[in-house]
Chain A
């Protein structure tokens, strides 16, 4: 009976921990670590060129503050892209959320915490509405995510413009601007700390919970996810709604940071966030990606921007550099994956 041919079978036991390869092998196998290396090199180059201005806490804090709002959006975008979807509407949803919140807070008149809290709740509700709408159209109406979110990008932005007549509302409550916009805790901008908490929670949900596991499963093989009884449609609605929720949070953070709704200022936000997530190793074909990678991917454009200003290169070069890095990162990633399959 057991004349089992053993050549294809384990010699001793089955590996149950990721300890098979050496630590170095496993580290090298992660796209996010490879791209972290790129980030370190960029920081090192600027650091060597202008140590007195680049490597200062002031500059580094500045960079962190600049990526904070995008980081909040990138958390949701990472989930969406892992499902093999895309969310082009985040910038517009951010705008419409902050517009609704600002209008209501303005009408309430006072500038205390109560008003700010109402603004936050409204902003989040509006965000979840648009995200949920995206999810329903993707999951139930079966319209491709690219089209759905391109549509809601337009509709949400148009709604914001109708509500305001196209003019920014410049009256965020004082407490919001003072404590969140300009506030600091131990030298770290409050807005950065808030973003950090959201990123950590997002990372834990993605990598440790069943919700995160299903996110990967849907992107990896939707048919198999359905066959094992996962309610894929509902998960997709939840994931897009989560992205909308975070756009709502980003809307209120943006109000706090800039003191105004940024109706015309978010047209490239979606593309910047998507570029960061993809540079960080999340595959647009789904099933693969990490929260850590998305954060590294966010810092590369931000560091380049700050660095170019400091060394006196026209900041327009940053746009050129980021686009090139995006293509290079995906190119390298494709090759490494092909190599991994050959080796496996």
Chain B
């Protein structure tokens, strides 16, 4: 089995806190891997380290089997890795299409394009197509994102990331603030992204959501991966036990 993105023995210390203490992680193409752990277990630090937002003290990151170093988020982005942050980082006054293409606008052809004019109809059309393909709850690509529901905003952020990521998508707490229907929709989107062959990394505190969509679940505790479970046949109790340390498991179970 060859992982798409893999971390080996990552270490990072902040002052007296050992945030990552030899952490391993891996995600393959076409699977959803959930990354869980209690607060302070090192989830965010691990994600930052894998997406060019953090320098490491030790350890290596392999992308498609070869060691890589992402110095900036743009480096990771160029490799096909995108992150949907918990705060979504959308511009509320801009509409869904404008947000989706922010920083990567499609320009008009010829002289007008060189003068800085954008191809607005094309961006709207393609944004609408992307939302339809993902089964997004977005009803209009021309209303400001700020007036949308939490689920719609989340789906704009996911669609934007998917439009630019063709390898790995990181989702940080995508269902944290959502209602039942909206959560259902976002989880469906996650499955569709996986079905396109991307590796999806889901960071979540919601065990039922994790168990529903994840193919594998990797548990982080005190800066280390302490267990890996298959998505099927694992119980919430087992996960909580591994997260809190109540259950002692040997790494490499699955």
The answer to whether A344 touches B143, judged by C-beta atoms less than 8 angstroms apart, is: yes
CA gap between A51 and B94 in the complex, in Å:
44
The answer to whether B139 touches A209, judged by C-beta atoms less than 8 angstroms apart, is: no
CA gap between A1 and B187 in the complex, in Å:
11
B71 within 8 Å of A (CB atoms): no
The answer to whether B184 touches A5, judged by C-beta atoms less than 8 angstroms apart, is: yes
The answer to whether B94 touches A217, judged by C-beta atoms less than 8 angstroms apart, is: yes
Question: A5, A14, A287: which contacts B92 (Cβ < 8 A)?
Answer: A287
Q: Which residues of A contact B77 (CB under 8 A)?
A: 229
A10, A221, A225: most-surrounded residue (chain B CB, <10 A): A221
B43 within 8 Å of A (CB atoms): no
B93 within 8 Å of A (CB atoms): yes
Q: Which residues of A contact B140 (CB under 8 A)?
A: 14-16, 20
Q: Which residues of A contact B127 (CB under 8 A)?
A: 16
The answer to whether B91 touches A208, judged by C-beta atoms less than 8 angstroms apart, is: no
Of the four ranges (under 10, 10 to 19, 20 to 34, 35 or more), the interface on chain A belongs to 35 or more
The answer to whether A216 touches B93, judged by C-beta atoms less than 8 angstroms apart, is: yes
The answer to whether B147 touches A341, judged by C-beta atoms less than 8 angstroms apart, is: yes
A1, A20, A209, A288: most-surrounded residue (chain B CB, <10 A): A209
The answer to whether A287 touches B118, judged by C-beta atoms less than 8 angstroms apart, is: no
A22 within 8 Å of B (CB atoms): no
Residue in chain A with minimal CB distance to B142: A18
The answer to whether B104 touches A228, judged by C-beta atoms less than 8 angstroms apart, is: yes
Question: B73, B139, B142, B188: which contacts A17 (Cβ < 8 A)?
Answer: B142
Residues of B with Cβ closer than 8 Å to A?
Answer: 73-74, 77, 85, 87-94, 97-98, 102-105, 107, 115-118, 121, 124-125, 127-128, 131-132, 135-143, 146-149, 151-152, 181-182, 184-185, 188, 191
Q: Can you report 21 residue pairs joining A to B where beta carbons are below 8 Å apart?
A: A2-B188, A4-B184, A14-B128, A14-B131, A16-B97, A16-B128, A17-B124, A17-B142, A208-B118, A209-B116, A213-B98, A216-B94, A217-B98, A220-B93, A220-B94, A223-B89, A225-B102, A227-B85, A287-B91, A287-B93, A340-B147
Across the A-B interface, the 3 shortest Cβ-Cβ residue pairs:
A344-B147, A228-B103, A287-B93
